[in-house]
A and B are shown apart, each in its own frame.
Chain A
Amino acid sequence: MKKTTLQPLEKVSTTKVIKGIAGKKLQESEQQPLKQVAISAKLPVETGLTAIKNTPLKKWFRPLFILLTTFLIGGLVLDRVLASISSRPWLGYPLALIALGLVSLVIYKIREIQRTRKRIRYLQHFKNRLMQIHANSSPLMQHKNTAMSTREIKRNFKQFAECLPLKFSANYPAFLSSIEPHHETDEIVKLYELMVLAPVDAAAKRQIIQDSSKLSGIVAISTLPIVDTVATFWFALRLLRKLSALYGYRSLSGWYLMKSAFNSALIAGGSEALIHLSTDDLLSGLSEKLSKRIAQGAAAGVLTARLGFTAQVYLRHLPFTEKQTSILKQIGKELRKQWLDKPQTSL
């Protein structure tokens, strides 16, 4: 029997302390895998990609090209502006003000994008670390989870939750209070997913389906390829913006997502042109025209939904651990839910 001092905050009056050692302590060789987990988790995420990264020439080419082009265009514009000011001096002040405003706006936007990029990069790094821990969760490697402490996980979740819209971040205190001392790191992650992230996911899904179904209608009705292209591009960007806002980001700057949005827009416009060609040449009947239009609308909707789900995976605070059902199934399920929910919401 041995008396020990309790933490000052603990108010329990302990009379006896029994110290017992049960199983044998781990050998150093058995502890080795844990160290490996810790080291591997600290590595930068892009480690595997560095080997195939751009050569120095390629690396400098793009910024140099942009800089030169900007100088060239900027010089031409400036020359024209100065020429017009010299011929009409009263234009000087308003043009200078407009230029200043534009430059400020551009700087503000660039900084916002940079900040978001930084946060999203950190999010991807965090998710990769979680995935690594999950992958290394063999019995002898997981038990202490030194790769990410509970405190670190909580700190990250706090940062993520603070940026969420108010109605979702309100769930964060409930999540915090539900954490018990016996909860392991993976259990805390699961709790965050259940209590904080699940409502955001549901709202994101709703948004994706809503926007893609609206777009399907517009693309099906419109007869001009340009309308289809612009509408698809605009809807895709709008969806990306809304999803970013749902997950607590001001703007989304994923090049891959932008490219997907642009591709969807091109496909929508191209399909419209194809319909024009086929109906004009083959003189098809009304039902055939209708079915083509519906198919075109559905295709545009599915492409936008696909883009939305990809963005969701990108923006989500945690990786999807469970197997996701196919996009078409998800769309079908959500549409059914929406139809069924409508009367309830109208009441």
Chain B
Amino acid sequence: MTSLITQLLTANTVAKLPFVELINEGRWLGARLSNHENSEFVRFPYEESIHNIHQLQLWPEPTTSESHILLELHYAVRPSITSRIWPTRTLEVELIDYPGEWLADLPMLNQSYFAWSAEIINHLSSFSELEQAQLFLQKLSIIHNKMKLDKNFKMNENDIDFLQATSAYKGWLAAILQRGEPNLLLQPGRFLSPGHLENTPLLNFFPWDLNQFPLKEDDSIISLLKKRYKSYQKKVVSPFITDFFGGCSRQIILLDLVNTVGAGKVEVERLQQLVQEVFKIHEYGTNNWLRRMINPNIEKILVASSKADLLTPDQHRRMQHLLGDLVRGEAGKISTQGCDYKALAISAIRATETRLISEQGKQIQAVCGRVKVDADSSPEWVTVIPGDFPESMSQLAVTTQQCGANLHFLPPENWQLGQQALPHIRMDQVIEFLVGDLMQ
């Protein structure tokens, strides 16, 4: 988002956006950030993010809560009858930033509490050796024993054991996240990034392992957990869809394929399921003027894979084909409904450079970037030969080690805001695809 705003703000000065037709035609007049004086939302910390990249050579802080920012794009319209009266126009674009973890909740909407519990427990079982996992199981065991000892025991949501079990589950999820495993299904996502719901009773529940701690459905703890789960579905997940995506006619689904492919085939398939869930919650197709005003369909969708700068340029097309393969069924369906679809390998900020290196007498492409080994050490240049990226689901290996995925390259060196273009990969195509046709 920081890159998108910077590219738009510097579009008529230094930014390199050759695919934006408006700029090629000389109709782009400029962009500016709108004032947020009367806004009820938290403003996206754009200036802080830019300061981090520009001055401190650090990436922006990960998003932990919802924030908004409003951009005004000024442009000259193409000659028409109305252009005689209004030769210039302004397109207001509201950008909403939210933690990506919240998206992980979408599959929960169509799942019952038991189905969700079984799936999440099975999914997290590979992290059961963690200390936090043991603590959580211990808390479940305490509750289970209590229920066994006293059949009429009524567990309520303020019970200390219930609260402690919730807290232990949250701790377990946080510990998995901290390990940096590219695990996609850390549910509920709000437990990791609660936003304004922090410490609210809505976030007080946890999955129950019925295999390990068998209980009846009418036991008070199960009834309580089911009730809390339904509240979470109704008051957190559903409003998230309607508030964030309602009224949108353009959609971008940003995926981290480099890390996911690195984690293996199972993770890619899980990502595919998640993307399928995202496709299910929206309506796709064309809009007439009335529909556009009341409840628009998504008429353009861009599926983008980020971190393309970790691959050499000759691998980008392979990445795009894998993306296409990932959403093949859904893309076919929405295309028949008239929705415009595109898959792109992008990098919002290009942190690496492509170099030709000689390896056993052959010239091969490699990516080269700066890495800090320790927090105190000075950055050093590292060259990575990423290898072949799988271009279809059938080519995915069970466990694949994507080289460079675990390296954290630093932002571009010596970049000066307003004096140099912020290096990117295909951000101009993203802008053109999403808003190009709105500025005719």
Contact surface of A with B, Cβ cutoff 8 Å: 4-7, 10, 12-26, 139-140, 142-144, 175, 178, 180-184, 187, 190-191, 194-195, 198, 336-337, 340-341
Contact = CB atoms under 8 A, between A and B. Distances in A.
Contacts of A12: 353, 355, 368, 381
B330 interface: no
A144 B21 CA distance: 27
B403 A20 contact: yes
Given A5-B358, A194-B18, A182 B261 contact: no
Looking at chain B's contact residues, the main secondary structure is: mixed
B42 interface: no
A338 B391 CA distance: 49
Given A16-B380, A20-B404, A181-B313, A140 B321 contact: yes
Q: Which of B18, B355, B400 has the most CB of A within 10 A?
A: B18
A195 to B, nearest CB: 6
A146 B79 CA distance: 42
Contacts of A144: 314, 317
B381 A14 contact: yes
Interface stretch (B80-88, B179-187, B292-300): B80-88
Nearest to A25: B388
A18 B80 contact: no
B166 interface: no
Interface string B351-366: 0011111110000001
A336 to B, nearest CB: 8
Leading 4 A-B pairs by shortest Cβ distance: A20-B403, A23-B390, A178-B18, A22-B387
A21 B79 contact: no
Contact of B321 (A16, A24, A143, A180): A143
Contacts of B368: 12, 14
10 contacts: A14-B368, A17-B382, A18-B403, A19-B385, A20-B384, A22-B402, A23-B261, A139-B321, A143-B391, A198-B24
A16 B354 contact: no
B103 to A, nearest CB: 26
A194 B24 contact: yes
Contact of A16 (B24, B314, B383, B426): B383
Contacts of A22: 261-262, 386-390, 400-403
A190 B81 CA distance: 30
Contacts, number: 142
Contacts of A139: 321, 324-325, 391-392
Nearest to B359: A4
Given A139-B321, A144-B314, A340-B80, A18 B404 contact: yes
B387 A20 contact: yes
Nearest to A27: B395
A337 B380 CA distance: 57
Contacts of A16: 380-383
Given A7-B355, A22-B387, A184-B316, 8 more contacts: A14-B355, A15-B380, A18-B385, A20-B402, A23-B395, A175-B18, A182-B308, A191-B19
B230 interface: no
B354 A18 contact: no
Interface of B: 16, 18-19, 21, 24-25, 79-81, 83-84, 261-262, 308, 313-314, 316-318, 321, 324-325, 353-359, 366, 368, 380-392, 395-397, 400-404, 407, 425-426
A31 B356 CA distance: 24
B355 A21 contact: no
A24 B314 contact: no
A128 to B, nearest CB: 22
Contacts of B318: 143
Contacts of A13: 381
A18 B383 contact: yes
A190 B18 CA distance: 10
A7 B383 CA distance: 13
A182 B385 contact: no
Contacts of A142: 317, 321
A181 B397 CA distance: 29
Nearest to A138: B321
B317 A23 contact: no
Contact of B397 (A24, A187, A194): A24
A346 to B, nearest CB: 14
A142 B343 CA distance: 15
A17 B385 contact: yes
A17 B18 contact: no
A10 B321 contact: no
Nearest to B345: A182
Contacts of B390: 22-24
Contacts of B359: 4, 19
Contacts of A23: 261, 387-391, 395-397, 400
Contacts of A15: 380-382
A12 B357 CA distance: 12
Contact of A178 (B16, B313, B383): B16
A24 B388 CA distance: 7
Nearest to A191: B18
Nearest to A185: B317
Nearest to B363: A7
Contacts of A7: 355-358
Given A22-B402, A182-B308, A341-B79, A5 B321 contact: no
B271 to A, nearest CB: 16
Nearest to A182: B313
A340 B82 CA distance: 10
Contacts of B356: 7, 10
Contacts of B81: 336, 340
Contacts of B401: 20, 22
A14 B357 CA distance: 11
Contacts of A340: 79-81, 83-84
A14 to B, nearest CB: 5
Contact of A184 (B16, B317, B395, B400): B317
A241 B397 CA distance: 59
A140 B392 contact: yes
A34 to B, nearest CB: 12
Contacts of A19: 359, 385, 403
A184 B343 CA distance: 14
A290 to B, nearest CB: 27
Contact of A18 (B262, B317, B384, B425): B384
A178 B396 CA distance: 34
A143 B317 contact: yes
